[in-house]
Structure 1
Amino acid sequence: KGHKAGPVYDPEGVPYNYIVIIDAGSSGSRVHIYHWPDPKGLDSSSQVDSDSDSDSDSDSDDDDDDKDQKLSKPKRDDGNLTLTNTSNSTTLTSFLPTVSKEKGQKWVKRIKPGISTFNKMPDKVGKGYLKSLLNYAKNVVPKMQQARTPIFLHATGGMRLLEAQEQTEILQASCNYIKDTSSFYLPDCDSHVSIIDGETEGIYGWLGLNYMIGGIDDPTKHNHGKDHSTYGMMEMGGASTQVVFSPNTTMSKTYEDEMYKLTLTGRGSTNGTMAIRDYDVYTTTWLGYGINEAQSAFTKSLIEASKGKATEISDPCMPKGSSREDNETVFKGSGNFTQCIDNVQSIVTKSCDKDKESIGCLLLNSPKPDFDINHFIGVSEFYDSTHDVFEMGGIFDYFHFNDKLKTFCTSDWDDLIAKYTKSTDKADDKDQLTEKLQQACFKGTWVSNLLITGLGLPQITDGDNDPTRHNETLLNYLLPFQSTNNINGSEFSWTLGKAMLYASGETGLALNLTSNKGSFVGFYANKNSSAITYGAEIGSFHRPDFSKKNKTGDKNGADWDDMLDKSSHRLWGALAFLVILGAVVYLLLGKSRR
């Protein structure tokens, strides 16, 4: 409640297409809402390549004409795909979505814990968990749009760790609840409520990231050399880590079977044309390499080293004097930074097939990044674990970060508590801070060693060690790696990539594209080209058409039903007042007649 519903139409009368996506992660779930003008209503003859408002992070609306003309057949024009983005003011088309706001509202809501915690009580996942997310989406998506607004629930790392039967029960209960309690468009449980693998999550994230930065929008502006304009993504969640990038031509050919083919449809550079752009993308994931699972593996290794007999165990990745309990075992911090690194590296390299001592051993049998053109952006825990305590997000300065990490890990616990609790008065805040400080040494060591030892990141340094270069805003797109929590005013989410691909797919459907390889919108693995992940619905499941008979001319999305519903209490109050007034007049007239 309290969230203003989004618009039904854009300023020119083109109806918006909405989408609702629930990101069911390992530590919590977020619902995201996106919209874009219906491609069936775009005017291909007058709007292509003309100036238009970008669909920014405010609830601004795209500028398209409400015409029923058919769009011209697309052509491949050397990657001339243009998408809306807020990072520049160049002429961009506007049919693809960004996160929309209205008066500061980001159209996103988060709840905790992760959906996987309902593995022993799947029947509670609806009313006890999803209800608040659905209510939020209902308040944002206009009522007259909800029946044609597709909803997706895609679970990630946490759900991947459950037994198959537990997964099925949670997903089925979730789908049933969404169908029973909302009118959102959900034609197929298997495709709309599912667990997506790490590779799929990675491609969605790569798409969203490059859309937000502008690597897809404006290849010329983001030309890194060797005909390369996109950015690599590294994402670390609670359970898994994903790495996605577009390798150079040599690597793509050498590891052709390991690559994914991604196809997008957009509006072309010439009036009345469309463009199709193909990307060769490598995506890989390591389940168990998310920050929470890594810490669990580290704790398990300490218990195994004690042969399970000790009730008090020394933890080298906790500051001296600190302690924590885990399943009746007390872990005492020793602040032994050298031992901490050794223990962490043994977990980082456990998935290396061979040459565990080699830098970048996790990618030994995979396409290697060419750091001259592959510039990576780290999101989620790559930023949080380096910045929350150490304030070293942004440019990854390996040497200064390691110095700061060592100083923290070897510090006395009482000194750290005194330093970091000066501005914290509430007991709850102090408890959260204590937990954060206890975990900071391990988290920082894990991220640093995963980047250098596991993934082969060059050990760069910021000679001036300028603190203003360690923040959540991207400063230099040409660095080998930097972490961020904010891109052009928006927090990163892989759900933007899902929405973007769906919008591109709907554009392809509006052009009557076939599903033949090379002319569909979506992606597939080269080694399994028959398993296509399509951008939008396929078969008979297309989004219902917008019904123009509901149009009232109100560009802010209000229709008569909504108006009556919102004003019903005023109408009843007015009627009651008129009845009372009539009675009074009748009585007064009766007295005068007597």
Structure 2
Amino acid sequence: MPSITSTWSFNRNYGVVIDAGSSGSRIQIYSWKEHDYVRKGKDPKDLHILPTIELGDEFGIKWQKKVEPGISSFALNPSEVGEKHLKELIDFALEVVPSYEVSNTPIYLLATAGMRLLPLHQQAAILQSACDYIMFQNRFKMMEKCSDHVQVISGEKEGLYGWIAVNYLMGGFEKDEGDHKVTDSQQLQQSYDNDFSSTKHMTTFGFLDMGGASTQIAFEPNLDESKKHANDLTTVLLWTLDGQQMEYKVFVTTFLGYGTNEARRRYIEDRIQNYTSTHEKIANPDSSLEQPNVLINDPCLPIDLLLTDTALPPPLYTLQGTGNFEQCLNYTYSLLNKSVTCFDEPCLFNGVHTPSIDFTVNNFIGISEYWYTSHDIFDLGGKWDYEKFETKASDYCSSKWDNIVSNYHKSGTLTNLPRLEMQCFKAAWLVNVLHNGIGIPKSESTIGKPPLFQSIDVIDNMQVSWTLGKMVLEASSTIPLIFGARPKPPPNPQHHGIFGYYNFMVEWIIGISSLTVLLIITWYMCCKLEIGRLGFGFRSRKRRVRFGELLYKLT
């Protein structure tokens, strides 16, 4: 818990995000000064800025924690995700956030790649269990609908958060001179109904992210492209401390299967297929006493590096490095699938629609694998220089594997062995995606302007992460407006059930059970009425006979 003697935590808001990834969950705590406190006594001209987001710890040391494995590993025992996974993370957050601020601090669990691969019913069970634990076992702030805080986010939303984070840290929003005038609440409400705003922002950066399974791109198209593809753009609304609104129309998309791991998997399949199409097939490889091993040359591995793929059925295929970067570029180019039909022009690669990129307007920032592949071994992170990168990659690929390992041990570097093995392939894949996929020019004149592409990991001691983008939105959305109340956006389809959870199966069961009970009751009542009607008719006839006899006697 923060020191009670420190004034740093006074007048401070906090926000908590759990990045539930495939390999583990990382909790990150951010903070910002209360808006009214910051605005007090300031000239309005000095307040046309976004809130300053800081780490949740005064010294930037204790603000994040990771636990492994990922929450998707609880697919078969979702009820344990609270005590065996989330508890450690939330206990950590309670140590960071002051006790008097916990109930005012929003918490989000946003799951990404690992959870997206699970069947929907398993996702729902894990998310409901997480909802139960966070809502009923802790005091952090959550809205009435838990699914607003605990959810699986799409690759597109992850890319959009990343775009916000990059532009926040790089000053893309601060220098913006687009059309974001002060408007009253009625005008703001009407702005939600506009299909397209003619605002053109010249200073925002495009965003590129590459992981193991996919790669994302997010950017503001130029004015002409924005008009042509208005229906494909996502509106981002931010508010500055003076209560003014900034609006951005952003295109974001995901290329599934185009992360480094998936690209390598597809590459190996292609190499094996090419080999088997030109060589005689091995008869009954399963029946051999010793599994046959087929050797295939691989220009995307350093010379004499041997890697055996054990994921495929026999025979075993061993890839032997021949270390040729130029050949590796040619082989990996086909993985872009540029020849796939584009049903919605224009497309970048694999038939995925993307508005044309205007490189006189758009400069891109790359994170994750764009940074690791450029920096960790080649030490070329930052401004992209294709010639230097190509030289380093060619020298590395053509090196003998034994020499690479020897130099690795001598240097005492922290780079792990798998990265050394895959560096040649990843370098070729990075070049193909950047230049042949996205279309970034290899040479450029950057005098007096930002480079067309640069890779980044940390800016001003703040790690570039999509979770930061989520917190920028959170802090910005709570700024009081100058004129009237903040308008409500148009209703979007709600991805939660009537109880505020994701467990659709429970609701289906409740609904079907209720309907079944209703039908049974209806059937029972109908049967009872029918029996009663028959019985009532019999008694009525008896009464009519007796009444007739009485009349006869009286007469």
TM-score tier after normalising by the smaller chain length: 0.7 to 0.9
Query: What is aligned with 2:463?
Result: 491
Retained in 1: the 8 A contact 2:207–2:365?
A: yes
Query: What is aligned with 1:531?
Result: 492
SS at match of 1:215: coil
User: For residue 205 of structure 1, what is the amino acid of its counterpart?
Assistant: G
Out of 76, 98, 109, the position equivalent to 1:153 is: 109
Q: Does 1:296 align with 2:253?
A: no
Structure showing the higher helix proportion among its residues: 2
Query: What is aligned with 2:94?
Result: 138
Distance 1:13 1:363, change over 3 A: same
Cα distance in 2 for partners of 1:532, 1:504 equals: 23
Cα distance in 2 for partners of 1:6, 1:250 equals: 54
For structure 1, which runs of at least 5 residues remain unmatched after alignment? 52-79, 84-94, 269-273, 464-474, 521-528, 534-540, 542-594
The alpha carbon displacement at 1:305 in A equals 4.2
Query: What is aligned with 1:218?
Result: 175
Cα distance in 2 for partners of 1:532, 1:212 equals: 32
Cα distance in 1 for partners of 2:275, 2:120 equals: 33
Distance 1:159 1:312, change over 3 A: farther
Query: What is aligned with 1:585?
Result: none
The alpha carbon displacement at 1:532 in A equals 8.1
Query: What is aligned with 2:2?
Result: 5
Q: How does 1:351-500 map to 2 (within 5 A)?
A: 352-354=340-342, 360-361=348-349, 365-424=353-412, 433-460=416-443, 478-500=450-472
Cα distance in 2 for partners of 1:378, 1:476 equals: 21
Out of 304, 307, 314, the position equivalent to 1:324 is: 307
Q: Max radius of gyration: which structure? A: 2
Cα distance in 2 for partners of 1:165, 1:288 equals: 23
Q: Does 1:232 align with 2:206?
A: yes
Identity of aligned residues (%): 36
Query: What is aligned with 2:153?
Result: 196
The alpha carbon displacement at 1:434 in A equals 2.2
Retained in 2: the 8 A contact 1:20–1:33?
A: yes
User: For residue 329 of structure 2, what is the amino acid of its counterpart?
Assistant: I
Query: What is aligned with 1:349?
Result: 337
Task: Normalising by structure 2, report the TM-score.
Answer: 0.73
The alpha carbon displacement at 1:365 in A equals 4.0
Query: What is aligned with 2:255?
Result: 286
Retained in 2: the 8 A contact 1:81–1:216?
A: no
User: For residue 268 of structure 2, what is the amino acid of its counterpart?
Assistant: T
Cα distance in 2 for partners of 1:451, 1:265 equals: 33
SS at match of 1:147: helix
Q: Does 1:253 align with 2:214?
A: no
Query: What is aligned with 1:127?
Result: 83
Distance 1:372 1:461, change over 3 A: closer
Task: Normalising by structure 1, report the TM-score.
Answer: 0.68
User: For residue 347 of structure 1, what is the amino acid of its counterpart?
Assistant: L
Cα distance in 2 for partners of 1:140, 1:487 equals: 23
Cα distance in 2 for partners of 1:43, 1:419 equals: 53
Distance 1:487 1:266, change over 3 A: same
Cα deviation digits, residues 469-508 of structure 1 (max 9, x gap): xxxxxx9861110101111221101111111111121225
SS at match of 1:506: coil
Query: What is aligned with 2:42?
Result: 47
Distance 1:324 1:377, change over 3 A: same
The alpha carbon displacement at 1:227 in A equals 5.0
The alpha carbon displacement at 1:336 in A equals 4.1
The alpha carbon displacement at 1:21 in A equals 0.3
The alpha carbon displacement at 1:455 in A equals 0.5
Distance 1:480 1:461, change over 3 A: closer
Retained in 2: the 8 A contact 1:31–1:108?
A: yes
SS at match of 1:243: strand
User: For residue 370 of structure 1, what is the amino acid of its counterpart?
Assistant: D
Q: How does 1:37-186 map to 2 (within 5 A)?
A: 37-39=33-35, 41-42=36-37, 46-49=41-44, 81-83=48-50, 95-105=51-61, 107-186=63-142
Retained in 1: the 8 A contact 2:336–2:349?
A: no
Cα deviation digits, residues 428-485 of structure 1 (max 9, x gap): x6xx63222111111111111111111001102799xxxxxxxxxxx98611101011
Retained in 2: the 8 A contact 1:306–1:313?
A: no
Cα distance in 2 for partners of 1:312, 1:112 equals: 36
Distance 1:173 1:335, change over 3 A: farther
Retained in 1: the 8 A contact 2:348–2:354?
A: no
Distance 1:362 1:248, change over 3 A: farther
The alpha carbon displacement at 1:510 in A equals 9.6
Cα distance in 2 for partners of 1:476, 1:137 equals: 44
Distance 1:455 1:25, change over 3 A: same
The alpha carbon displacement at 1:530 in A equals 4.8
Cα deviation digits, residues 201-253 of structure 1 (max 9, x gap): 111111111111111123369xxx97512111111123221111111111111
Cα distance in 2 for partners of 1:21, 1:7 equals: 24
Cα distance in 2 for partners of 1:201, 1:13 equals: 32
Query: What is aligned with 1:507?
Result: 479
SS at match of 1:282: strand
User: For residue 93 of structure 2, what is the amino acid of its counterpart?
Assistant: A
SS at match of 2:104: coil
Cα distance in 1 for partners of 2:5, 2:471 equals: 18
Cα distance in 2 for partners of 1:407, 1:13 equals: 54
Cα distance in 2 for partners of 1:292, 1:180 equals: 39
Distance 1:325 1:252, change over 3 A: same
Retained in 2: the 8 A contact 1:23–1:153?
A: yes
User: For residue 426 of structure 2, what is the amino acid of its counterpart?
Assistant: K
SS at match of 1:366: coil
User: For residue 462 of structure 2, what is the amino acid of its counterpart?
Assistant: S
The alpha carbon displacement at 1:346 in A equals 1.9
Cα distance in 1 for partners of 2:339, 2:129 equals: 35
Query: What is aligned with 2:21?
Result: 25
Cα distance in 2 for partners of 1:444, 1:385 equals: 6
Retained in 1: the 8 A contact 2:384–2:451?
A: no
Cα deviation digits, residues 103-142 of structure 1 (max 9, x gap): 3415122334443344344344333333332222111111
Q: Which moved more, 1:476-485 or 1:488-497?
A: 476-485
Cα distance in 2 for partners of 1:98, 1:532 equals: 33
SS at match of 2:237: strand
Cα distance in 1 for partners of 2:173, 2:486 equals: 24
The alpha carbon displacement at 1:418 in A equals 1.4
Retained in 1: the 8 A contact 2:347–2:353?
A: no
Cα distance in 2 for partners of 1:31, 1:167 equals: 20
Cα distance in 2 for partners of 1:339, 1:390 equals: 20
Q: How does 1:325-340 map to 2 (within 5 A)?
A: 325-327=308-310, 329=316, 330-340=318-328
Distance 1:448 1:29, change over 3 A: farther
The alpha carbon displacement at 1:397 in A equals 1.4
